[in-house]
Chains A and B, each alone.
Chain A
Amino acid sequence: MLDFIARRLVAIIPVLTVVAVLVFLMLRLTPGDPAAVIAGDNATSDQINDIREKLGLNEPIWTQFAIWIGNILQGNFGESFFFKKTVAELIAQRIEPTLALAMCTLIFAVCVSVPLGVLAAYRQGSVLDRIVMAFCVMGFSVPGFVIGYCLIYVFAIELGWLPVQGYIRIGVNFWQFLERMVLPSLTLSVGFIALISRITRASVLEVLNEDYIRTARAKGLSSRVVLMRHALRNAAVPILTVIGLGVAILIGGAVVTESVFGLPGLGRLTVEAVLSRDFPTIQTVILMFSVVYVVVNLLIDISYTVFDPRIRY
């Protein structure tokens, strides 16, 4: 097992290296002087020279990459000239809303979609099944920001139950924080729920045809036990896989959702950074999200053994 984890850790190194090279080349392939681009539109020539010096832009490109990656590995992500802060500070400041949104969405989506998928599979062809399947297609087709604005319109403007936009830090007032998390998490959940319940339904359906399910039923076990202990557990691997892949949707969705609800998170930061052409920030955010995505999927790979002891590494 430890051997497997070590091997998987080694295997993500080439992937992350390619990501790092792509993110690095991103800026070097920009037309014009990268130092001027990083410094932004209002920089003085001293500032530009300073950056050129720091990045070693006069060195060959391999050396530049080595300097850049060395800085990043030491936690030095550069400086945002637009926000007048180091990128590390900026991210530390903006990470809470994004983490909170991702967690709320993940918990809510899994709690809703797994039971939905199991029920749809158990009652295959029923009205419930049809509704779930229709919801899945809809969930893939309606963009997050349209859902977000519909929810704002109904629950915040017409009914006035929840605040329209904004964010309160979790440490400041927990209830107000929670109030402001409801609509964004619901918005972001829709696509995720569609994805997970569809896969859950499909994999439970496949398992339900197995002999051991018939055996379990023949033993006189209740449908609930059969569904939860026998079927769902064996269907867990594809469900987990899709939750891991869905993290990409979560990250992409966070960018849009944070903009709709005015959450000052990393997604909003990304958009602000692009609008102000703040490259050190864009590079760091992309690198960070990619690392998160890869690591989450690695953890999920490892967790397979817990759910399915037949999988041995």
Chain B
Amino acid sequence: MTVATEDLVDSASIAAASTKRKSLWLLALRNPNVIIGGSILLIMLAIAALAPFLGTVDPTRIDPASRNKKPGTEITMRLDDGQAVKRVALMGTDSLGRDVYSRVIYGTRVSLAVGAAVAIIAIAIGVVIGLVSGYIRWLDGIIMRIMDGLMAIPGILLAIAMVSIWRAGLITVIFAIVVPDVPRVVRLVRSIVLTVREEPYVEGAISVGTPTWVLMFRHILPNTVAPLIVQGTFLAASAILVEAALSFLGIGIPPEIPSWGNIMAEGRTLFRVFPHNIFYPGIFLAFTVLAINIMGDGLRDTLDPKMSKKV
């Protein structure tokens, strides 16, 4: 979805968002989409934070005695001290006997962390490059050509290429997803800078001798906050999807880390007999991304009104 929207960002809308910033934030919190999406997201955050207390066991614990159990089966677990405990495997077990429920619950942590990390890092890098590109004319051409080139490579392919160079790992995957996202942030920030720098108040600031860095951070940067938050939610949503896709393909996060994509990758071979390994993480994944997207739509409607009319 980011492919479709970022090209339509119109920087004129930013002025509207910045004038009444405070009241807009309050308005955003009253938007039904923000409330619904935000609540689901908060529940997911709570699940991620409270994962050890939600009746889970160690998600990496292999139990050869209870492999491939259907959801709801009662299994007997042997604890480290030799005691046997009976436990119902809510979502069944996978082919190594790991508890799918625990893995899905712990997987929430991985997905939310990846989504947040990608959005924050992509925006941080994109803001710096975008500010430089929009403000320093002679660098603009070079930077934007590089960004055009990066955007010409379909995002997931670029991520796959990055992973293939650096070998899989959580940090690698995060950066592999960040790189294709950076040009989208750069374009957005640059377009805002280009509009805002012509505004009378910026000219006024320049004429009283404001240093460039103060100008950038005090006068120009605040204009980018609202559109970047909207962009950030969509980046986070797509990052969670891309991470799951990479892990699902077996080229993402190392398989021992319980992420939704990894659970599904593991469930592929026995899908015909035990579809639960794919369905449960799939439902969590879809719900989380849906919540973030709904929230993003709501935020865009209130914070970036001109754009919402277009899409």
Contacts and interface: CB of A to CB of B under 8 A. Distances in A.
B133 to A, nearest CB: 15
Contacts of B161: 23, 26, 274, 282, 286
Contacts of B249: 255-256, 259, 271
A289 interface: yes
Contacts of A195: 1, 3-4
A18 B285 contact: no
B245 interface: yes
A12 to B, nearest CB: 9
B4 to A, nearest CB: 5
A26 to B, nearest CB: 6
B148 A286 contact: no
Contacts of A145: 245, 248, 264, 278, 282
Interface stretch (A85-93, A104-112, A135-143): A135-143
B149 A248 contact: no
B157 A251 contact: yes
A289 B155 CA distance: 11
A252 B152 contact: no
Interface stretch (B78-86, B190-198, B289-297): B289-297
Nearest to B277: A149
Contacts of B285: 143, 146
A247 B4 CA distance: 11
A137 B149 CA distance: 29
A150 B150 CA distance: 34
Given A14-B149, A143-B289, A256-B249, 14 more contacts: A16-B149, A19-B152, A22-B153, A23-B161, A145-B278, A149-B271, A247-B154, A248-B154, A251-B154, A252-B156, A255-B160, A256-B245, A259-B249, A290-B154
Contacts of B154: 247-248, 251-252, 289-290, 293
A221 interface: no
Nearest to A196: B4
A293 B289 CA distance: 26
Contacts of B289: 140-143
A139 to B, nearest CB: 9
B114 interface: no
A15 B157 contact: no
Nearest to A21: B149
A222 interface: no
Contacts, number: 159
25 contacts: A14-B149, A15-B152, A16-B149, A137-B297, A140-B1, A142-B290, A143-B241, A143-B244, A143-B289, A144-B245, A145-B248, A150-B282, A157-B275, A164-B272, A195-B4, A206-B310, A246-B3, A255-B245, A256-B249, A271-B249, A275-B250, A282-B164, A285-B157, A290-B152, A294-B152
Contact of A141 (B156, B250, B278, B293): B293
A15 B148 contact: yes
Nearest to A37: B165
Given A141-B290, A255-B157, A275-B251, A18 B282 contact: no
Interface string B124-149: 00000000000000000000011011
Nearest to A279: B164
Interface in A183-208: 195, 198-199, 202, 206
Nearest to A253: B156
